[in-house]
Structure 1
Amino acid sequence: MRLTSARLRAGLLAAASLTLVAAVLPPPPQALGIGDRLFPDLGNPGYDVLAYDLSFTYRSNKEPLDAVTVISARTVAPLERINLDFTHGTVSSAEVNGRPATFQSVGEDLVLTPRTALPEGVPLHITVRHTSDPRGRADGGWVTTGDGLAMANQADAAHRVFPCNDHPADKAYYTFRITVPEGLTAVANGLPDLPVHRAVGARAAGTTWTYRTHHPMATELAQVSVGDSAVVRRTGPHGLPLRDVVPAADRTRLEKWLAKTPGQVEWMEQRVGRYPFETYGVLIARASTGFELETQTLSLFERSIFTDTGYPEWYVESIMVHELAHQWFGDSVTPRTWSDLWLNEGHATWYEALYADGLGKYSLERRMREAYQRSDQWRAAGGPPAAPRPAAPGEKIGLFRPVVYDGAALVLYALRQKIGTAAFDRVQRRWVAEYADSVAGTDDFVRLASQEAGTDLTAFLQPWLYGKTTPPMPGHPDWSTPKRV
């Protein structure tokens, strides 16, 4: 067919041009995730983070911090856009490989569009200038303390503080640079550089504190604290530098607890091997969180657990060991998915219980028998240890149920009953040695345990890890679980 009208020809050509343009436009930005069963929106495909360099400028805990996040990564797939997990802050600019990139917030993702698409296998250098807001929300991230801030990112809250790939499967090295007013102390994971003091200028004088991790770390384990703090230093086994960070006014009062850490590190090393990081200590905050947290190299504790007289000393000590044990189980060996959380909490609870047993206050066998009697109830409420049910919306902390603590320690007890103490101890040592500074999951643990036992343990461990009801306990035919109502 021939076109006979010039106006008609022009109109059709214009429509065709618009159609061609629409055909090559990329789809609109969208939030992505890596499909974790419990947190499907966390993490982002297409790249592997190697290092974070985080800068924060703190003025008070009642206003946003100015921040710069620099990410060194490598693409593992072609990328037209780069998704970062980030919310609760305002972005002012973004760069990708030294060139400005457009950015857009979609859900809890920050989506960057570089000028040109990135092929697979190339370096990726991202700079985001933003704020980090500690106000308002109480769902993790920044925690307001009596004299400043601390950080509690578990399980899904690091991206409420800084742009990141917020899933434990993507560990990276960290540098922290925290600028605070004179008179305040800033601390973070890792070892410090010498602080740099800023002269009085247009704004008040201040000090920049820099810390660097010597081992890779998951985002949920990052820690930054600002406050009127005393930093107490001592030496642990084989010259390990220990540093505790406590409210300055409580320095003397807390010493009896701080002095226990070297012996606790030695106790853990006797059971699982050398401490896995460059330093350790406790961060005691004037805050009410309802939990203690194993942030890497610097575990977070509420002040009240040490100052309230209602807690028996043996209980406080065992909780300190729980968070210390996490440095091996959860921090050095990090879960591949959040369903593998039992590997963190079950092992930390195991050593907490073993320590209390050694103090002669609460025997391991008694605790395990009591857990066995309640195990079916825990499984009914929260799912089995290796397949916990997701937490209710807005209650992410609800993932941390008894079934992944004592219920998971019970799995370890059953394993020891099955294969014997010597083989069990070899499993523990090999686990933290073979997967140090890495990620591992439930299948990895079953395979390693089977190798050490010299027999395939899959059929034995499957119902313990995934069953709706609790299997019979080896060696304890007298133990019975109560009937479920």
Structure 2
Amino acid sequence: MSLTSRAPRTARTSRRLRVALVAAASAGLIGAALPAPQPLGIGDPLFPQLGNPGYDVLAYDIALTYRGDNSKPLDAVTRIDARATDRLDRVNLDFTHGTVHGVEVDGRPAEFALSGEDLVVEPARAVGPGERFRVSVTHTSDPAGPRNTGGWVRTGDGLAMANQADAAHRVFPGNDHPADKAYFTFRVTAPEDLTVVANGRLVARALAGGDRTWLYRGSHPMATELAQVSIGRSTVVRRTGPHGLPVRDVVPSADAGRLEPWLKRTPDHLEWMERKVGRYPFETYGVLVADADTGFELETQTLSLFERSLFTRGGLPKWFVESIMVHELAHHWFGNSVSPRRWADLWLNEGHATWYEALYAEETAKQPLERRMRQAYLDSDRWRAAGGPPAAPRPPAAGQKISLFRPVVYDGSALVLYALRQEIGKPAFERLERRWVDRYAHGTASTDDFVRLASEEAGRDLTAFMQGWLYGEHTPRMPGHPDWRSKAPAKGSTKAPAPSAKR
């Protein structure tokens, strides 16, 4: 998502840490002190400052207090349980766009400073390798800011979240990279006339005065980019999916009747996906319809985010709207359960979601998959020239993080899957898809992992075949279609196409 930096204000302890470091440097004592706080990252080529080395987050417990005005900061406390993988004299957390009031490590006050988009915490004592520790941050979570910068989305009656790809740390401090998945608990307090829904299941709710506190907890680990909290004048519509799966849709109360023809399709979508790749991997599912102009839909875990206008503006074919619903649902296998190890593996998320979107349209609305893939093949060389090949996309434009979501990671990546199916045959391809989501369920996986598993299923090494499709400057010949041609990009043209409205 597009991200505009806004330096948060700091608390007195933060200022003291910086002043002490400057004084130590001036006195020539810096060799005996820690270096100045600085932002770190785990080395993701597309988002080099995302994530932080030296620890593994086990769980987040995030408390938010919403006062009823979606332009004002929320009061928040984020508790992070983690295990150190290295000695930590400091703990870096991704965080920006909020005020930090105080930090504790294992219940003891800790010094902290903000550097770039990192909150740098210095515990009273170093954390040793293998040790578990808890960081508690008292802060604000600010929904104000430019539209479509990611994080909080202000809706017509409240808030929702859209954190992909690198905006969760605009909402809460953490290790904001999908390689470090963790369990989430949300405790959200809001005026009693509002409804709060979050990832996972509702565990408890309690009324005190004019406010109600809602407690939600997920049963499976989740990437920070997939976090979701919805606050508004909403109706929760409940139904049952396959195998008794609880399905809960969250919609503006005024639109509940109007949206029902779309929402009631979800159980059938779930059944269709289960026939393709196996049982739905989470404890609940649902559609969150937001009264907001986001420009995209998003697969937030167990509760996919959709613009209200997708369902209400009219003029869109029924099959098209349903295929977009299936796209976001498919992500719960491809992207949510099996998450990318680095952002260059994004093609595995979006290529698969686009594949099942297109396959659903073919099987239910007679929209030929081959026709769509032939058009993608025609455009593929231009997409690669503009945005890089599917598994090595160019970094997003500065200040325009949403530009990462280019056609090459959608239809251009689904084209890779079509080529693979052409090469190894439909039965082997379908077995591969099931093995992929089963072997790496609730974990992370890479492009190399996918190529290895495809080779296992095919019974031969597919590395050379996949190399061209995933990393080539030009699109390889399509197996079974020697007559297909890709249109060469205009000379000197590398302008990226507009980003997709899907995620």
TM-score (norm 2): 0.91
What number of residue pairs does the alignment pair up?
Answer: 463
- Structure 1 range deviating more: 19-28 or 380-389: 19-28
Q: CA offset at residue 359 of structure 1?
A: 2.0
Q: Residue in 2 aligned with 1:362?
A: 367
1:53 partnered with 2:58: no
Q: Displacement of 1:368 after TM fit?
A: 0.3
- What are the residue-to-residue correspondences of 1:408-419 with 2, within 5 Å? 408-419=413-424
Residues 1:103 and 2:112 aligned together: yes
1:28 aligns with 2:28: no
How does 1:392-431 map onto structure 2 within 5 Å? Answer: 392-431=397-436
Task: Report the secondary structure of 2:212's partner residue.
Answer: strand
Contact 2:196 2:232 in 1 (8 A): yes
Choose from 93, 96, 103 the match for 2:102.
Answer: 93
Q: Check whether the contact 1:314–1:361 (CA below 8 A) recurs between aligned residues.
A: no
**Which amino acid in 2 is paired with 1:49?**
V
Q: In structure 2, what is the equivalent of residue 182 of structure 1? A: 192
Shift of 1:484: 3.2
SS of corresponding position for 1:254: helix
Amino acid paired to 2:86: A
Aligned partner of 1:353 in structure 2 is 358
SS of corresponding position for 1:472: coil
Distance in 2 of aligned mates of 1:218 and 1:137: 24
Change (3 A) 1:364 1:62: same
Pick one of 145, 162, 166 that aligns with 1:152.
162
Letter in 2 for 1:53: D
The corresponding residue for 1:123 is: 132
Matched, 1:76 2:85: yes
The one-letter code sitting in structure 2 at the alignment partner of 1:82 is V
| 1:234 pairs with 2:239 | yes
Residue 173 of structure 1 is matched in structure 2 by: 183
Matched, 1:191 2:201: yes
For residues 248-299 of structure 1, give each alpha carbon's deviation from its aligned partner in whole angstroms, at most 9, with x where no partner exists: 0001110001100000000000000000000000000000000000000000
Paired letter, 1:61: N
Instruction: State the one-letter code of the partner of 2:302.
Output: T
In the TM superposition, structure 1's runs of 4+ consecutive aligned residues that sit over 6 Å from their partners are none
Distance in 1 between residues matched to 2:101 and 2:332, nearest whole Å: 36
Given that residues 204 and 216 in structure 2 are in contact (C-alpha distance below 8 angstroms), is that contact kept between their aligned partners in structure 1? no
Structure 2 residue aligned with 1:4:
none
Flag the 1:99–1:356 CA change in 2: closer, same or farther, 3 A: same
Q: Distance in 1 between matches of 2:446 and 2:182?
A: 18
What fraction of aligned residue pairs are identical, expressed as a percent?
69
Matched with 1:112 is 121
Distance 2:342 2:374 in 1: 29
Q: Give the SS at the match of 1:54.
A: strand
Q: Give the root-mean-square deviation of aligned CA atoms.
A: 1.0
2:319–2:365 Cα contact (<8 Å) kept: no
For 1:141, the aligned partner's letter is: G
- Give CA-to-partner distance per residue, 1:370-391, whole Å, 9 cap, x none: 0000000000000000000011
1:9 aligns with: none
Amino acid at match of 2:383: W
Say if 2:493 is the partner of 1:484. Answer: no
- Counterpart residue type for residue 328 of structure 1: W
Gaps of 5+ in 2: 1-25, 491-503
Query: 2:136 is aligned with what amino acid?
Result: T
Instruction: Identify the residue that residue 325 of structure 1 maps to in structure 2.
Output: 330
2:6 is matched with none
Give the number of the structure with larger relative contact order, counting CA–CA contacts within 8 Å between residues 6 or more apart.
Answer: 2
Verify: 1:42 aligned to 2:50, yes or no: yes
Partner Cα distance (1:307, 1:92) in 2: 43
Residue of structure 2 equivalent to 1:13? none
Residue 363 of structure 1 aligns with an amino acid whose one-letter code is P
Q: Distance in 1 between matches of 2:302 and 2:359?
A: 22
Is 1:296–2:306 an aligned residue pair?
no
Aligned to 2:276: 271
What's the CA shift for 1:181? 0.5
Structure 1: any 5+ residue segments left out of the alignment? 1-17, 200-204
Match of 2:462 among 423, 443, 457: 457
Shift of 1:19: 7.4
Q: Distance in 2 between matches of 1:484 and 1:108?
A: 37
Letter in 1 for 2:82: A
Equivalent-residue separation in structure 2 for 1:218 and 1:444 (angstroms): 19
Shift of 1:21: 4.1
Which protein shows a greater Rg?
1
**1:5 corresponds to:** none
* TM-superposed deviation, 1:478: 1.6
| Range with greater deviation from structure 2 (464-473 or 115-124) | 115-124
Q: Deviations over 1:348-387 (max 9, x none)?
A: 0000000000123421000000000000000000000000
- What is the rounded CA distance, in whole Å, between the counterparts of 1:361 and 1:108 in structure 2? 48
Partner SS for 2:476: coil
Q: Which amino acid aligns with 1:100?
A: P
